[in-house]
A and B are shown apart, each in its own frame.
Chain A
Amino acid sequence: MSDLPLRSQLAVALGRTAAKMSRLAGRGDGSVIGGRIGLRLDPELLTRLAKDRKLVLVSATNGKTTTTRLITSAMTPLGEVATNAFGANMPTGHVSALASAPGAHYGVLECDEKYVPMVLRETGANVVALMNLSRDQMDRAAEIWLLAGKWRRALEASPQSHVIANCDDPLVTWGASTAKSVTWVAAGQHWREDSWCCPECGGPLDRRDTEEDSDWACRQCHFRRPRPDWTLKGDQITDPQGRVFPLTGLSLPGRANRSNALVALAVVAQFGVPPEQALPLLAQVTSVAGRYTTVEHQGRTMRLLLSKNPAGWLEAFDVLQPAPGPVALSINAQGPDGRDTSWLWDVDYRILRGRPVWVTGERRVDLAARLEAAEVSFTVVDDIDQAVMSVPPGHLDIIANYTAFQSIRTRYGRVV
């Protein structure tokens, strides 16, 4: 910190004051406003704050916040780690995260997919973890083929960055394959509707799935899945040296989190933290910014699941209590959710047949029309309380998209 020019020190201090005031006013954790003020005063602030630190950028359509948290936890043996734990994943959030941990030699930064090129340029991050790309909030997000192309150019221009990439996602593989050095992680891909075509030439991709492996290759050109350095079969992890570890004891549920954990292990191994040391640290992460949190209310045990897009819903369905466990769904379409609800038609809701299903949120009528077409029985209620009080005491899974999730979290207590 003391190495920073005076102007940057001032920028950091004023940003911190603004963040504190924002927190006191109850307007979130203040990291966005703090970073914004800091960058206004010193546009080079992110570069200066990143200097002399070892940084990891984490990006994907889904799982960024969780994986950032897992990596941060597994890096604790190295010393203090700066991180944007609350999902403020644009440069303003990165500035806040780094400024608030001036003594940290390490940083793990969740990064919005669009900002990867810019943040890579400004920080020269040592490690970049890229996990998955799929359709998401099309009314404001970039087209993903375009996005992967930008990753390619950014990584080509950043030869000092080592990339950890999911080779089961063809678009991520393409986006990462211009990097000078890559560790390929077989982290799985369950949503495939955005990767039927070769990102390199547009030809058809052929898939070959066996219990052991899940391979893909273009039928027309040379582009094919690289040989993975890290694999996960069932609960067995194999590292690049061929050593096998059991991935047991994770507190976060579901296959998506097993994939996130595998990526985290590959990232921290890059810094010399071996899997046997990292695994117990991954297990300590129980909930991430309220996701997967269990809340007790009036005899009901509710589990809160955040799902923002079709690929995310697939992973949420994977961790539901077995049928006929009740489910409440809440959908909004405010700015952060995407104002276009057409993606509901990309989710296969038939898996909810035979369960009691409650439907709420500002766009509950869209969801009702969707469930009717999927022949899922449902009850529409005005708010989440009505759903909670309608189920008998016991377990209730709640799946909600972004702002719907935040309002439910606020209603039942902000548990982090």
Chain B
Amino acid sequence: MSSDRIKIVWIYPDLLSTYGDQGNTIVLERRAALRGIPTQTVSLRSDEPVPADGDIYLLGGGEDRPQILAAQRLRGDGGLARAVQSGAVVFAVCAGYQLLGHEFGGEEGQPVQGLGLLDIRSTRGEQRAVGEIVGDVAAELNVPRITGFENHQGVTHLGPNARPFAQVVHGVGNGDGFEGAYRGRVLGTYMHGPALVRNPGLADLLLRWAVGRDLQPIDDSWAGRLREERLNAVMG
């Protein structure tokens, strides 16, 4: 954290904001505020340069064409890659997750070049994966079982430099029994819901990465009930 507040950069809501992605921003702001940590959020339109001094960068979901446009503009801009090099946190969902990789499938399945910030490649699958998803998170991240909703047609293959974020317990995820990927502080997932609403532990992981210390517990009763209800709905 470069100053006394967390700077959150919401990347391109004009292109990548399809599944309540704003919710992830709201939850980070709120969970920081409840701990007395001020935040500043920038909603960055795709015609603006990506600021280098963000602490947390958020990317959301989008349709095929906006996803391709976002990838082109982010590659041309280069700011996100520089921020990652200097240790910023990136949390990307669905279309945003795919475009962090080396390439992804376009409208007709054609390969489109991504940002190469995660060692993943995505292609178009045969079937659309739509529904609740549950996964057990990689042990080193210390985040409880995750719950979300997925809606995508992507199949994502991880290279040797990316680790799977979670093992799928219910749902499809990457298509190989795992869900999402991360390397360092760059984390991508197919879960919306939005993911940080349903998984306060994951929201706190991002905040911990940003502030570099442990955070005091806060009242999570509604988020907790929501988590429990969603997990019960799927797992019985």
Q: Which positions in A face B, CB cutoff 8 Å?
A: 135, 138-140, 143-146, 193, 196-197, 202-204, 219, 339-346, 365-366, 368-370, 372-374
List of A residues within 8 angstroms of B47 by Cβ: 203-204, 219
List of A residues within 8 angstroms of B14 by Cβ: 196-197, 204
Report yes or no: A369 in contact with B18, Cβ–Cβ below 8 A.
no
B131 to A, closest residue via Cβ: A339
Report yes or no: B151 in contact with A346, Cβ–Cβ below 8 A.
no
Main secondary structure of the interface of B (DSSP, over half): mixed
Report yes or no: B151 in contact with A197, Cβ–Cβ below 8 A.
no
Report yes or no: B225 in contact with A365, Cβ–Cβ below 8 A.
yes
**Alpha-carbon distance A195/B101, docked complex (angstroms):** 27
Asked if B15 lies at the interface with its beta carbon under 8 angstroms from chain A, I say yes
Report yes or no: A139 in contact with B222, Cβ–Cβ below 8 A.
no
List of B residues within 8 angstroms of A138 by Cβ: 18-19, 151
Which among B18, B64, B69, B194 is the interface contact of A197 at CB below 8 angstroms?
B69
Report yes or no: A365 in contact with B222, Cβ–Cβ below 8 A.
yes
Which among A135, A202, A368 is the interface contact of B65 at CB below 8 angstroms?
A202
Report the minimum CB–CB distance from A223 to chain B (whole Å): 15
Q: Which positions in B face A, CB cutoff 8 Å?
A: 13-15, 17-23, 26-27, 30, 45-47, 63-66, 69, 130-131, 149, 151, 192-194, 197, 222-223, 225-226, 229
List of B residues within 8 angstroms of A373 by Cβ: 23, 26-27, 30, 197
**Alpha-carbon distance A161/B180, docked complex (angstroms):** 47
Report the minimum CB–CB distance from B221 to chain A (whole Å): 9
Given A146-B63, A197-B66, A340-B149, are A346 and B226 neighbors across the interface (CB < 8 Å)? no
5 tightest A-B contacts by CB? Answer: A345-B23, A345-B20, A196-B14, A342-B20, A143-B63
List of A residues within 8 angstroms of B26 by Cβ: 345, 373-374
Report yes or no: B222 in contact with A369, Cβ–Cβ below 8 A.
yes
List of B residues within 8 angstroms of A140 by Cβ: 130
| 10 extra A-B contacts, CB within 8 A, seeds A193-B13, A370-B197 | A138-B151, A139-B130, A139-B151, A144-B63, A146-B64, A196-B13, A202-B69, A339-B131, A369-B222, A374-B26
**Alpha-carbon distance A282/B211, docked complex (angstroms):** 59
Report the minimum CB–CB distance from B225 to chain A (whole Å): 5
Report yes or no: B15 in contact with A346, Cβ–Cβ below 8 A.
no
Given A138-B151, A204-B47, are A342 and B222 neighbors across the interface (CB < 8 Å)? no
Which among B21, B45, B64, B226 is the interface contact of A204 at CB below 8 angstroms?
B45
List of B residues within 8 angstroms of A344 by Cβ: 20, 23
List of B residues within 8 angstroms of A203 by Cβ: 47
Report yes or no: A345 in contact with B229, Cβ–Cβ below 8 A.
no
**Alpha-carbon distance A341/B14, docked complex (angstroms):** 21
Report the minimum CB–CB distance from A229 to chain B (whole Å): 29
Report yes or no: B226 in contact with A365, Cβ–Cβ below 8 A.
yes
**Alpha-carbon distance A143/B61, docked complex (angstroms):** 12
Given A202-B65, A204-B47, A365-B226, are A345 and B151 neighbors across the interface (CB < 8 Å)? no
List of A residues within 8 angstroms of B229 by Cβ: 365
**Alpha-carbon distance A368/B13, docked complex (angstroms):** 25
Report yes or no: B18 in contact with A135, Cβ–Cβ below 8 A.
yes
Report yes or no: B15 in contact with A342, Cβ–Cβ below 8 A.
no
Report yes or no: B194 in contact with A342, Cβ–Cβ below 8 A.
yes
List of B residues within 8 angstroms of A204 by Cβ: 14, 45-47
List of A residues within 8 angstroms of B192 by Cβ: 340, 342
Report yes or no: A342 in contact with B23, Cβ–Cβ below 8 A.
yes
**Alpha-carbon distance A286/B50, docked complex (angstroms):** 50
A347 to B, closest residue via Cβ: B20
**Alpha-carbon distance A393/B5, docked complex (angstroms):** 48
A368 to B, closest residue via Cβ: B222
